[in-house]
Amino acid sequence: INDLPHAMRFGRSPRDFVTLFDDLLTNVLSAEDESVVIDVTAHCHVFGRPSGAWAYEAIVKSVMGRDDVYVATRAEIADYVLKTAG
């Protein structure tokens, strides 16, 4: 999920970005039991400014309190894959 095309190409708001994330997460969690990586991308010249940065805070708050979502860095994901892939 990327703020650049969302805002620059389609002209959507930070609030729409949060809704897009919420809808994506709901659909991913209701799908089959498999691992999915949702990479939320921020650009400082798009929603990285005060008028849009709150959207990232809202997304982080929405997932940090969940027990069915694992939040990790890319390095942590790579370590997990290397350890479990055999």
Place of tokens 């799908």: 31
Residue 21: per-residue pLDDT: 94
The verdict on pTM exceeding 0.85 is: no
In this predicted model, what pLDDT tens digit does every residue of 20-73 receive, in sequence order? 999 999 999 998 777 888 989 888 888 888 888 999 999 999 999 899 999 999
The two tokens of residue 39 are 């990479």
Distance CA 41, CA 47 (A): 10
Higher pLDDT, 80 or 49: 80
Range of the domain at 70: 3-84
Task: Tell me if 15 sits within 8 A of 21, measured CB to CB.
Answer: no
SS (H, E, C) the chain: CEHHHHHHHCCCCHHHHHHHHHHHHHHHHHCCCCCCCCCCECCCCCCCCHHHHHHHHHHHHHHHCCCCCCCCCHHHHHHHHHHHCC
Residue 43: per-residue pLDDT: 84
How does residue 82 score in pLDDT terms, banded at 50, 70 and 90?
Answer: very high
Number of domains in the chain: 1
